[in-house]
Amino acid sequence: MKNLLKAEFSRMFRSKLFWIFMVLSVIFCVYSIYDDANMPAEFRQSGQIYGYVFEAALYFYILVYIFAAAVLDSLFISREHSDGTIRNKIISGHPRASVYLTELIVCSVTGLIMFIVNLAIISLPFLKFGIHGMDGWVTMRRIILIAVLIIVSNALFVLFSMLIPSRASSVVWSIVFIIIMLVSSALIQDKLDNDSQSRTLRERGEYYEHSKILGNTERKVYKALNYILPANQVLHTYDIDDYLADYKDTSEIPQKKLNIYLTGLCLLDAVTFMLVTAAGITIFRKKDLK
Amino acid sequence: MIKLLRAEFARCFTGKLFWLVVLFNVVLASSFNVLTYATTKSEDFSNIFTDKTLYIGLISMGLTAAVFVAFYAGSEFEEETIRNKLIAGNTKAGIYICDLAVCSAALIIIQYLYFFIAYAFSYILFGALHHSFSVMMQLQLIGALGTIAVTAFMLMITMIVRSRTIAVTVCMIAAIVFFIACVAIINELEEHSMELLDAGPEIISAEKYAVLDKYSYVYGVGSDDLFGAELAVKEFFYDSLLQSQALRFSDERSLPYHWEFMVIYNIAITLVTTLIGAVTFRRLDLK
């Protein structure tokens, strides 16, 4: 498997696809900083305001990255199907599980490298503005969650790409899947927000819409989905502490407890990752490679 | 060209692609209403208006067109069908126009199928809708012109790129970018019109203020934050992008303000992209 990994990493870093996405990623980061440069002069000196831009840049990065990963993984892996390379690897003695895991490792590491480059570029303005006003714990939790989500999203797209031999179909299914996940996440969040607002209005004795209040079981199901689904976690990287604390007052919750909640979330993602990968390897083992 | 058209229509309607896209849209059209029905308490049905679900087909038409056109027309390059058609005596312009006609017809059928299925489910499950049926049909007609414009744009990309995989990637990314741009532009112009409403007769004439008050938007009036060329470009996209048109259809109970411009822009985009695509395709060397 070491030889396989070396060969795949070499193929990835020599491919035009990787460098196109890397350049686009750098342009995206520079644009995020340029956005800040266009702020009125009286705000530009403040590290707090740049901190806000930094957090927003991280959030938009993961939103854009999941689409980029869908395309990159699909095009990178499906080429091996069309060229017959996967079949050649298996004929030369590599187990199917090793072939699958190699692709997964290469795509995940590529995603992490792109994220680190992005992080480095959007952190540069801190050399000028300093980091006073930034909450280091929140930023750290956000960065860890984004890194975990990069690995989980690659697991999902590698699953599609390994099982769908056609390059074009693989791209379509990956993008359609991520759109469906994001729309579902938005609908779930909408249900929970309406429920929360209606309950608050009911407690205050004000007018509320009865239809928007969820039953206890319904609420538990939606909340569970809100935490389990990676797309929901992506949408919540922005208000990560409120999300981890279930929208209770975070000033009363110690940092250690929030870190424990984050660990729980990462363990959920680890389970998702293992289930998706196990399913992918199982189906790939039985797939007929023509 | 008639023989080519017949052959292309037969290829389209007997192929798996068209029926897969139809199936996807049938599921989409029924699912929103069925989900709303399943998650709503029965005593609240009379308060549910599902007009917005009728236009989701148009909102998602960018992606639908990207997939359909890239697969339908893009496959011809990989299977070398285009070269065979040229050898058989067809012109490149003829091939291009046939592909445009067939893709447009197929996507308009899908658009109307989505609408009627969503309408049927809305009516059966919830009863009344805000929009009158005649208004909805007029909006769908404007939407059909928008569908042709989107199809022409996606076909232009596919015929220039000449690879199914790259075409589907570029077209889908373009559709997503246009959707995000639509939402951003609509939000920005809504904020702009709120600013104008608050400022009132200080910065706009009484006549334009009356238009703003009636339609919640008035064209060509700048504010401190948005004016000049930037405003003109954003108003152009506000009227011309199909997703923007569809989002506005879902919000209004009658024909939206400036609907004539939507029609003109749809026709203009179709003509311009077809011209660019056909001229570029004619000059390409098909190896």
Q: With contacts defined as CB-CB under 8 Å, which chain A residues touch B168?
A: 168, 171-172
**B53 DSSP assignment:** G
Asked, for residue B189, whether it belongs to a domain, the answer is no
* pLDDT single digits (tens) B82-141: 888 888 888 899 999 999 999 999 999 999 999 999 988 888 887 767 778 888 888 899
3-class DSSP assignment, residue A164: coil
The type of residue at B174 is: A
Nearest chain B Cα distance for residue A186, angstroms = 14
Residues of B in contact with A210 (CB under 8 A): 41, 44
Label residue B114 exposed, middle or buried (CB < 10 Å: 0-12, 13-18, 19+): buried
Which residue from B minimizes the CA distance to A183? B32
Average pLDDT over all residues of chain B: 87
Mutation to test the B interface, candidates A60, A173, A211, most B Cβ within 10 Å: A211
Contact A211 B164 (CB under 8 A): no
Is B59 at the interface with chain A, CB within 8 A? no
Distances (CA, A) of A184 to A24, A177, A188, A235, A279: 28, 11, 6, 11, 22
- Whether the pLDDT of residue A115 is over 90: the answer is yes
Q: Is residue B20 included in any domain, yes or no?
A: yes
Classify residue B192: in a domain, yes or no.
no
The predicted structure's pLDDT at residue B109: 95
> Could you identify the residue written with the tokens 């909006």?
B139
> In this structure, are residues A144 and A244 in contact, taking their beta carbons and an 8 Å threshold?
no
Query: pLDDT, tens digit, for every residue of A238-247?
Result: 888 888 888 7
- A179 CB within 8 Å of a chain B CB: yes
Residue B28 covered by a domain: yes
Report yes or no: B242 and B121 within 8 Å, Cβ to Cβ: no
Determine the pLDDT at residue B128. Answer: 66
Give the pLDDT band of residue A237 (cuts 50, 70, 90).
Answer: confident
CB atoms within 10 A of CB B100: 23
Is B234 part of any domain?
no
Q: Is A168's CB within 8 Å of B164's CB?
A: yes
Residue B261 lies in a domain: yes
- Collapsed DSSP state (helix, strand, coil) of residue A73: helix
CB B200 within 8 A of CB B209: yes
Q: Which of B240, B241, B268, B281 is nearest to B97 (CA)?
A: B281
Helices (H), B127-256: 133-161, 164-199, 206-215, 228-240, 242-251
Whether the pLDDT of residue A268 is over 80: the answer is: yes
Residue B194 lies in a domain: no
Give the count of beta carbons closer than 10 Å to the beta carbon of residue B49.
Answer: 14
CA distance B13 to chain A (A): 20
pLDDT exceeds 90 at position A60: no
Tokens of B140: 């769908």
10 Å CB burial of residue A236 (0-12, 13-18, 19+) is: buried
Low-confidence residues in chain B, pLDDT < 70: 40-49, 128, 287
Quote the domain boundaries for residue B158: 2-175+255-283
Q: Does B271 map to a domain?
A: yes
H or E stretch covering B35: helix B16-38
Q: Is the pLDDT of residue A48 over 60?
A: no
Compute the average pLDDT of residues A106-119.
Answer: 93
Angle at B210 between CA B208 and CA B215, to 5 degrees: 95
B40: contact with A, CB 8 A cutoff:
yes
Q: Residue B148's pLDDT is what?
A: 96
pTM above 0.80, yes or no: yes
How confident is the model over A69-79, as a mean pLDDT?
90
Radius of gyration of chain B (CA): 21
The 8-class DSSP code of residue A215 comes to P
Q: Which two tokens stand for residue A275?
A: 């289930």
DSSP per-residue string spanning B69-116: HHHHHHHHHHTTHHHHHHHTT--HHHHHHHHHHHHHHHHHHHHHHHHH
User: What's the pLDDT tens digit per position in A160-215?
Assistant: 998 888 888 999 999 999 999 998 999 899 889 888 888 888 888 888 777 778 88
Taking the CA of residue A202 and the nearest CA in chain B, the distance in Å comes to 17
Which residue does chain B place closest to A67, by CA atoms? B173
Would you give the end-to-end CA distance of chain B in angstroms?
A: 23
Residues of chain B with Cβ-Cβ distance to A167 below 8 Å are: 165
Total count of domains within chain B: 1
- Which residue type sits at A48? Q
Q: How far apart are CA A196 and CA A199, in angstroms?
A: 5
Q: What is the mean pLDDT of chain A?
A: 85
Residue B23 sits at the chain A interface (C-beta within 8 Å):
no
Selection from A189, A179, A265 nearest residue A222 by Cα: A189
- Going by C-alpha positions, the residue among B146, B119, B133 that lies closest to residue B60 is B146
CA distance A42 to A36: 12
- Chain segment A13-41, per-residue pLDDT in tens: 888 889 999 998 888 888 877 766 666 55
CA–CA gap between residue A63 and residue A61 (Å, rounded): 5
Count, in order, helices (H) and strands (E) of chain A. 13, 0
User: Which residues have C-beta within 8 Å of that of residue B99, sequence separation ≥ 6?
Assistant: B8, B72, B73, B76, B155, B159
> What's the rounded Cα separation, in Å, for the pair A213 and A33?
42
- Tell me if residue B264 falls in helix, strand or coil: helix
Six-digit token string for B27? 């599921």
Give the count of beta carbons closer than 10 Å to the beta carbon of residue B127.
12
pLDDT tier for residue A46 given thresholds of 50, 70 and 90: low
Query: Tokens 């809708």 sit at which residue?
Result: B129
**A75 and chain B in contact, CB less than 8 A:** yes
Residue A45 clears pLDDT 60, i.e. is over it:
no
pLDDT of residue A94: 86
